[in-house]
Structure 1
Amino acid sequence: MNAAMNAPMNNVGVTADKDTGVAVVTLDRPGKLNAIDLAMAGELQEVWRGLRFDDSVRAVVLTGAGERAFCTGLDRDAAVPQPNSPYMQDDPLLRIGPKANDLWKPVVAAVEGMACGGAFYLLGECEFVVAGADAAFFDPHTTYGMVSAYESMLMAQRMPYGEVARMMLMGTAERIGARRAYEVGLVSELTEAGGALAAAVACAGVIAGCPAEGVQGTVRALWAAKEAALAQGFAQAPHLISLGNLPADRQAELFAGRRAGGYRVR
């Protein structure tokens, strides 16, 4: 891919091929399994809003650097001060997705390795997901005494109820493998390990070859079909989180006591 556009950022990489009209956005913290800190959250907002004004980009691929993870959600070291009220909560991940930043160009996710927790904020706002054979999806919230609210609501738009309920309620005890994710519809195309990015770029190239107005209108129409339900659910999320989350020190205690290898892949 020609590096025709490069964003001067530390945590998010952007390259664009002016010939194909496809941009690749890369979460670039592989040493942290592409966990999202506050700096990366801010950079993602800048990227999505910047792509709104670049007419040479007609489709986008979102991926993660390295082989181990697409994204593992919010960085545990990120300090997010919260108001002392169940009615006012600051969630830095609510503004990291393309739709949340009013970008109506199609976004295809390319997933290798782990995608868990806050990664679903991003996957939930992509048009479809391409995954390598080693991809795995799970949500650790319940294991650590936290409510999976926004993540569950977003994935409930992509998977059968029983499947998303099982994934969210099982916590770290179980991971959905790439094959199972494909079978239940979370993943639209399954590739060999390491092949997700190339396949996603190929799909994006086909989409970018269509007239942009029709494509963007279709993206907006697809999102309109589910945004009302999401808005209703999101309105309840802060209260559910406030009522159900354990205190931060207890969450940290559970996280510190986690056991490596204590899960199965389904």
Structure 2
Amino acid sequence: MDLTGPWETLDVEVDKEGVVVVRLNRPDRMNAISPDMLEELARFWPAFDAAPDTRVAVVTGAGERAFCSGADVGTVADRSRARTGIFERENRFTPLQNQVRKPSICAVNGVCAGGGLHFVADTDFTIAADSATFLDPHVSVGQVSAIETIVLSRRVPHQAVMRMMLLGRSERIDARRALEMGLVTEIVPAADLQERALELARAVAAGSPAAIAASRQVVWDALDRPLHDALRIAWPILRAHGDHHPDAQEGPKAFFEKRPPKWA
């Protein structure tokens, strides 16, 4: 499958270092999530994960006004849509939901509202433009806030998520406050956001793919487990990699020989 499309609701670029930029591409609708976008993202993430030459994905929004305004309001109230009530069938549009093994970065370039928070919650880390704002308007429009806020509550202070959820559209969080909360890891000028996201993605892509995959596996898995259980599960994965994977020997060797590593 060609990751670059054609797509109707996405704009995908792949560079020679294995960095994939996927833009939510409905700027006239503030990049709102439509059924077509859900379907395309459900195809994109497994294809990205399976592609042999891709290392890391950057998720961002087209245009300057919005990253993602959430679900398209025209489809939320459409009761004709097929709904199963089964989480795994209806939620396949983020890297976490697709159990993607490769790292992903979210670059928030404007308004991030409601369902847009899925990408903040379900990528490995987020950076934001200084113009970015965050809000969860679900309860203000009669909808339940659940999936994205549940994941966020595992990653940022619970009270901060509860406040954002309960205040709905009355609470608009600016980039500075998002950084204080841990919702984002870095703020950059809006004009520099894509360049910085690519810089970070290329730094991630330079690491051992096998070591990154194993590290992501154990740290994400730890969110669901008591501390000691997580440590007991992580230890044999760490040891198996260190004892048997060629990257564990190549990394130190390349360091001492002052050359770039050649990962397996």
Counterpart of 2:9 in structure 1 is 11
Deviation at 1:211, TM superposition (A): 1.1
CA–CA distance in 1 between the matches of 2:5 and 2:140? 37
- Root mean square deviation, CA, Å: 2.2
Residue of 176, 179, 182 corresponding to 1:179:
176
Out of 60-69 and 188-197, give the one that drifted further.
188-197
User: Residue 9 of structure 1 aligns to which amino acid in structure 2?
Assistant: W
For the 8 Å contact 2:3–2:44, the answer to whether it is kept is: no
TM-score, normalised via structure 2 length:
0.79
Matched positions, count: 223
1:56 partnered with 2:75: no
Structure number, greater radius of gyration: 2
CA–CA distance in 1 between the matches of 2:29 and 2:79? 18
TM-score, normalised via structure 1 length:
0.78
RCO greater where, 1 or 2, for CA within 8 Å and sep 6 or more?
A: 1
**1:80 and 1:57, CA in 2 relative to 1: closer, same or farther beyond 3 A?**
farther
Counterpart of 1:160 in structure 2 is 157
Percent identity among equivalent residues? 35
For the 8 Å contact 1:70–1:113, the answer to whether it is kept is: yes
Counterpart of 2:258 in structure 1 is none
Give unmatched runs, 5+ long, in structure 2.
Answer: 227-264
For the 8 Å contact 1:94–1:121, the answer to whether it is kept is: no
For the 8 Å contact 1:83–1:89, the answer to whether it is kept is: no
Counterpart of 1:199 in structure 2 is 196
Give unmatched runs, 5+ long, in structure 1.
Answer: 230-266
Aligned to 1:67, the other structure's residue is in SS state coil
Is the helix fraction higher in 1 or 2? 2
For the 8 Å contact 1:80–1:90, the answer to whether it is kept is: no
For the 8 Å contact 1:16–1:23, the answer to whether it is kept is: yes
User: Residue 59 of structure 1 aligns to which amino acid in structure 2?
Assistant: V
For the 8 Å contact 1:41–1:92, the answer to whether it is kept is: no
Counterpart of 1:170 in structure 2 is 167
CA–CA distance in 2 between the matches of 1:36 and 1:88? 19
User: Residue 110 of structure 2 aligns to which amino acid in structure 1?
Assistant: G
User: Residue 175 of structure 1 aligns to which amino acid in structure 2?
Assistant: R
Counterpart of 2:242 in structure 1 is none
